[in-house]
């Protein structure tokens, strides 16, 4: 059976019947975990990379090289088909061209371009502006022409709802599809009816951005993947699921530590943390140990792991 490229895997996931669910990775931990949990295609959240990598909000502060570096690291430690978030392409159509090349070389299977004015901001923040429709069309054409692998997926995002209304959203998405976009995304749709309307009036698969947990006011309503599938949505991404869960988990861990300090008692909270063994498994330690055994001499194995070792490494210890 002929192996397919990661870009082809991503494209097939988008085009298959039913909805494709894509949680979002933002670093090696999250990418490894998603693969460990059985995911094959994922989104790479630009906001999560900005927040975790440079500690800055999603306001266009992170640049191309920081983003590409994060994608490269995730691609190298997993076999995930990654749909990267390239913001606006970091400039005009020429910048979008080279952003595509950089992302593809880094190992991305596809990337998203949006039509906001740079510096952009999170789609659920106030104060957004969008560039003219024709300018964005040229960005998509330029990015499409830059592809080496013709299967590389181009996802186009519009933030025009906040500035121009739902009719312009539909017109823009169809124009972007004609220019070469494979997957369409209208960010910050406000109602189920708007999602349904866009689905029925665009000519490429539609992606929806979904929160997870408590819905904020004035943003996309929380719908299940099944409900979105019933509306005709092809892809649902969860950009802030893992970042929010990670931050919540770290806060709870620190709160437990503070309680231990104040009480003077040891706190054993297995519910707050994975075990050392599970962490090593998720991070791929068994594969590295197997590699070490394969290419170590008998003397090296016995010196490191004890006289008479059979070549089977003992369980990892802290």
What is the residue-wise DSSP string for 150-215? TT-EEEEEE-THHHH-HHHHHHHHHHHHHHT-SEEEETT--SHHHHHHHHHH-SS-EEEE---SSP
- Rounded to an integer, what distance in angstroms lies between the CA atom of residue 86 and that of residue 73? 16
Query: From the CA atom positions of the chain, what is the Rg in Å?
Result: 22
Model pLDDT, residue 214: 56
Q: Where are the domains of the chain?
A: 6-243, 270-311
Model pLDDT, residue 124: 83
* Number of other CB atoms surrounding residue 4 within 10 Å: 13
* Number of other CB atoms surrounding residue 286 within 10 Å: 12
Model pLDDT, residue 216: 58
**160 touches 169 (CB < 8 A):** yes
Listing DSSP states for 68-128 in one string gives: HHHHHHHHHH---EEEEE-TT-SSSHHHHHHHHHHHHHHT-SEEEEE-BPSS---TTSS--
* DSSP run (H or E) holding 47: helix 46-49
* DSSP run (H or E) holding 31: helix 28-36
- Rounded to an integer, what distance in angstroms lies between the CA atom of residue 291 and that of residue 195? 49
Q: How high is the mean pLDDT in each 10-residue block of the chain (318 residues)?
A: 87 97 98 98 97 96 97 98 98 98 98 96 88 98 98 98 96 98 96 97 97 66 95 97 95 94 90 94 95 91 78 49
- Rounded to an integer, what distance in angstroms lies between the CA atom of residue 226 and that of residue 88? 30
**76 touches 55 (CB < 8 A):** no
**Using alpha carbons only, what angle is made at residue 173 by residues 168 and 177, rounded to the nearest 5 degrees?**
150
Model pLDDT, residue 317: 46
Listing DSSP states for 233-265 in one string gives: --EEEETTHHHHHHHHHHHHHHHHHHHHHHH-S
Model pLDDT, residue 308: 67
Model pLDDT, residue 76: 98
Structure tokens at 18: 């039913």
**179 touches 132 (CB < 8 A):** no
Q: How far is CA 284 from CA 8, 33, 35, 55, 111, in A?
A: 25, 10, 11, 27, 27
* Number of other CB atoms surrounding residue 282 within 10 Å: 15
Model pLDDT, residue 154: 98
Model pLDDT, residue 1: 47
- Rounded to an integer, what distance in angstroms lies between the CA atom of residue 191 and that of residue 188? 9
* DSSP run (H or E) holding 24: strand 20-25
pTM (2 d.p.): 0.92
Single out the residue of 185, 240, 183, 184 nearest to residue 13, CA to CA. 183
Structure tokens at 140: 């998509």
- Rounded to an integer, what distance in angstroms lies between the CA atom of residue 181 and that of residue 144? 8
Which top CATH class is 6-243? alpha beta
**Residue with tokens 């570096």, as numbered in its chain:** 69
- Rounded to an integer, what distance in angstroms lies between the CA atom of residue 97 and that of residue 93? 6
């Amino acid at each position: 059976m002929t192996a397919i490229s990661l870009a082809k895997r991503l494209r097939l996931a988008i085009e298959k019947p039913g909805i494709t669910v894509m949680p979002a990775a933002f670093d090696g931990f999250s990418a490894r975990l998603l693969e460990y949990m059985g995911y094959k295609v994922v989104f790479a959240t630009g906001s999560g990379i900005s927040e975790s990598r440079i500690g800055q909000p999603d306001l266009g502060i992170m640049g191309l090289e920081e983003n590409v570096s994060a994608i490269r690291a995730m691609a190298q430690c997993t076999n995930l088909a990654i749909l990267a978030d390239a913001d606006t392409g970091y400039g005009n159509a020429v910048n979008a061209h080279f952003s595509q090349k950089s992302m593809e070389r880094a190992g991305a299977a596809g990337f998203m371009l949006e039509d906001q004015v740079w510096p952009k901001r999170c789609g659920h923040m106030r104060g957004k502006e969008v560039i003219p429709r024709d300018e964005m069309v040229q960005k998509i054409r330029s990015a499409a022409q830059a592809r080496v692998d013709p299967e590389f997926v181009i996802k186009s995002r519009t933030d025009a709802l906040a500035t121009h209304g739902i009719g312009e959203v539909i017109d823009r998405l169809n124009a972007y599809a004609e220019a070469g976009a494979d997957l369409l995304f209208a960010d910050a749709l406000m109602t189920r009816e708007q999602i349904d309307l866009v689905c029925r009036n665009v000519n490429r698969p539609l992606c929806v951005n979904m929160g997870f947990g408590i819905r904020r006011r004035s943003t996309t309503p929380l719908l299940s993947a099944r409900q979105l599938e019933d509306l005709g949505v092809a892809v649902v991404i969860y950009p802030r699921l893992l970042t929010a869960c990670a931050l919540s988990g770290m806060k709870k861990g620190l709160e437990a530590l503070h309680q231990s300090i104040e009480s003077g008692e040891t706190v054993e909270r297995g519910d707050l943390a994975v075990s050392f063994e599970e962490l090593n498994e998720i991070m791929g330690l068994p594969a590295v140990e197997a590699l070490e055994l394969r290419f170590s001499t008998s003397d090296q194995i016995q010196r490191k792991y004890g006289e008479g070792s059979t070549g089977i490494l003992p369980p990892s210890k802290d």
